[in-house]
Structure 1
Amino acid sequence: MTPAMKPIQIASIEAFSFRVPVASPIKVAFGTFRDRPFVLVRITDSEGAQGWGEVWANWPAVGAEHRARLAVDIGERLVGKTFETPEEFFNKLSASLEVLVLQTLEVGPIAQVVAGLDIAMWDLAARRAGQPLHRLLSPREATRVPVYATGINPDEPERFAAARQAEGHRAFKLKTGFGHELDVRNLRAMREVLGPEAVITCDSNQTHTLAQAIDFCRAVEPLKLGWFEEPLRVDAPASDWRELARASTTPLAGGENFHGAQFDAAIASDVLDVIQPDVTKWGGITGNWSVARATVAAGKRYCPHYFGGGISLLSSLHLIAAAGGAGLLEFDCHPNVGREAVVGELLPVTEGTVPVPSGAGLGAQPDLARLAAFRTWEGRT
């Protein structure tokens, strides 16, 4: 629970959708990113204080505008209401939308909007308290957190990874799921180029059958990978996941596509060693803080999933700083104005770590003027 604070009365909610072009397409097993969509929300309270959040909108790109409009629509029921804490906000808003979820089957978009609004409420609360968000969550001292370079494409990934290593990165995640031979070839090449001390992980985005995943684990066993992420479909039988865990010496990871009680089951199980919720996809700060604490308490690694804009990155950073443990922060190294117009030079990578922002709230806010050219929609309550 948050410490005692002055109640927050919501005066307005704004939403902004953007699409940022990319120089080179970013490939994952389920498709190709040809631009980078993202959605920001801003909550202003009755005293003029503001907080920023981000709504998951990675795929498909056309979903960004839908989520922005949905945020404003949901926001209409919040204006003028007062909440004692961000947790109260999250819980009451989630409960009030249960019938709407049943009516529309918009489980994902509604959960993602709630997550973004929750992030904004926490940012607002921490700014009003004059504290960095991680200190509002926990008294734990944290000045730096370890990161890993993510979004590494299957096209000669050793070149991209080596360039990131030269910039200060010490951990790396390759996108796999493009065929057994290519995946294994790429991981071997990365190990050879990066050296034995580098942390190398991979993410197959739910592409394998059980037999394929077992074959893959056996082939890469000598490479000593840090983890194998989403090898099977999230809804694969629990027996398949258990069998793969028994067959693999590489730790298994997942959680990006979990929500609610699925995290409780994953943390209690001995299948996943690495738990990876996405703060903008489900739960916001409220839900993910609960998952982070439970993960660390269970002796597992809390490594939040991230592939979005700057608010999402900062939110994930504050959560891992507050939680501690042996987790790594996912760190997108592709050029992205959606990240850069928020974070700027705040997070330089040094020996595989970045500093924890010390400013109030998330520690930064979007430069809307810099993002104006990429805006596709905006609205307010």
Structure 2
Amino acid sequence: MRIKAVQAWWVRVPIEAARQHRSDFGQVKTFDAAILRIETNDGLVGWGEGKNAAGSAGSYGALVHMLNHEVGPQLIGRDPADIAIIWEMLYNGSRHEMAAREGHAMPQIARRGMSVAAISAVDIALWDILGKSLGQPVWRLIGGRKTDRLPAYASGGWADADGIGEQLRSYIDRGGFRAVKMRVGAMDGAPQVSAGRVRAAREALGPEIDIMVDAHGTYTVADARRFVHMVADQNLAWFEEPVIADDKAGMAEVRASGAVPIAAGESEATRYAFRDLAVAKAADVFQPDPAFCGGISEALRIGTIASAFNLRFAPHLWAGAPCFFAGLHVCAAAPASFIVEYSLGANPMIHDLVEETVEARDGMVAIPEKPGLGFTVSEKFLEAHAQRC
């Protein structure tokens, strides 16, 4: 079995005005991703996804060009089952043979960001192919699954103090969730505004529902610390990305300033960044995004680091179907996983890109049973929304 063809598209799906929301990313009018198709010489097809924007909207022309014209040609003729070897080849670039011989990484200079986003897309697609070639779901190939369903939290929460309780309650009523996440931070202005929204949410939901908050890295250390103290009595499940991901020392300072667990990692790429988070004692929950951190392979390694440091693992899954399904398989096999993200904003890249129904029931999401990642791409939908790059 050899790789025969590699094709990536910038898929941009408009979101109808009634379902749009506004956050620190502005008015979100589209859902964008780089979707990758890898085909083997015996007709098997694997699907992957790469991301270079933390929000659901972004520009993907450069990443798609990289996949089609730089990464793709390196894959033609290779055995798609050589997943780890291909990962290291793409990561180390022109020095990959020396790195393999010497037994340590020698990455290319542009080793993070878009380079790893491209590797992520390839890695996810290769695992999909391997599972299909063996007639097995990916979770069985990476260690098995600890459960057939995982708890999920409803991810959304942009309404103001007057409406946040009703908005979050609608999530609970819709999918039976026992945990919800709301956005805070720069979108609100001063920390006390966010704190007021949190208090309104808690009053509306009562003490039994877990509430997570996500600042998207928009606070300064000082404001994040102020916010932690303002919500100290609200029993938050976690405070996500309080400050910019590049400021790990600042994040550690926020973590040390109060009792609210800190979650981080959607903006981090590779195991090395998560090692630094762990050593700095900057986070309690690791949140790698499979479409950005390095794919399924690297997410598994990051999960191992979380377990080794007695931390927890909850990947960032505000994404398209290939990333979301990849996250489900990883969580099924990862000892440190405990909950998955289920987006309640408009997400056509999950619900319309694939033919399967993706849903939460009683606050739980089922782990796929089909071979590979377990979904079927709607080629008609893909063709309708693929952009020319």
- Contact 1:210/1:244 (CA < 8 Å) preserved in 2? yes
2:91 to 90, 94, 98: 94
Work out whether residues 181 and 211 of structure 2, in 8 Å CA contact, stay in contact via their aligned partners in 1. yes
Q: Which runs of 5+ in 2 are unaligned?
A: 96-105
Q: CA deviation at 1:129?
A: 1.1
1:31 is aligned to 26
Runs of 5+ unmatched residues, structure 1: 1-7
Q: CA deviation at 1:235?
A: 2.1
What is the match of residue 174 of structure 1?
182
Instruction: Please name the residue that 1:10 is paired with.
Output: 3
Change (3 A) 1:100 1:77: farther
Q: Which residue of 2 aligns with 1:159?
A: 166
Is 1:255 the counterpart of 2:265? The answer is: yes
- For 1:247, give the aligned amino acid: S
Cα deviation 1:173-225 (Å, max 9, x = unaligned): 11111222321121112112222111101111111122211110011111100
In 2, Cα distance between equivalents of 1:346 and 1:61: 23
- Cα RMSD (Å): 2.2
Structure 2 partner of 1:188? 199
TM-score normalized with structure 1 length: 0.90
Provide the C-alpha distance between the structure 2 equivalents of 1:37 and 1:311, rounded to a whole number of angstroms: 13
Pair 97,127 (structure 1): closer, same or farther in 2 beyond 3 Å:
farther
Match of 1:118 among 119, 123, 132: 123
Q: For the residues of structure 2 that align with 1:157 and 1:22, how far apart are their CA atoms? A: 21
Q: Distance in 2 between matches of 1:84 and 1:374?
A: 30
In structure 2, do the counterparts of structure 1 residues 60 and 122 end up closer, same or farther at CA, with 3 Å as the change threshold?
A: closer
Instruction: Give the number of aligned pairs.
Output: 368
Looking at structure 2, the residues matched to 300 and 351 of structure 1 have their Cα atoms a distance apart, in angstroms, of 26
Find 2:316's aligned residue among 305, 326, 329: 305
CA contact (8 A) 2:47 2:125 kept: yes
Aligned 8 A contact 2:241 2:264 in 1:
yes
Return the structure number with greater strand share: 1
Q: Which residue of 2 aligns with 1:138?
A: 143
The TM-score with structure 2 as length reference comes to 0.88
Cα deviations across residues 243-293 of structure 1 (Å, max 9, x unaligned)? 322211100111111223111122344331100111101210111111112
Amino acid at match of 1:22: I
1:71 to 67, 73, 85: 67
**Cα distance in 1 for residues equivalent to 2:377 and 2:216:** 30
Q: Percent identity?
A: 28
How far the C-alpha of 1:114 sits from its partner, in A, is 1.1
Distance 1:242 1:369 in 2: 47
Letter in 2 for 1:71: L
Partner Cα separation in structure 1 for residue 194 and residue 168 of structure 2:
15
Instruction: Tell me which residue corresponds to 1:284.
Output: 295
CA-CA distance at 1:97 after TM superposition? 6.3
Number of the residue aligned with 2:99: none
Corresponding residue of 2:41: 46
Supply the AA of the counterpart residue of 1:75.
G
Helix, strand or coil: the match of 2:29?
strand
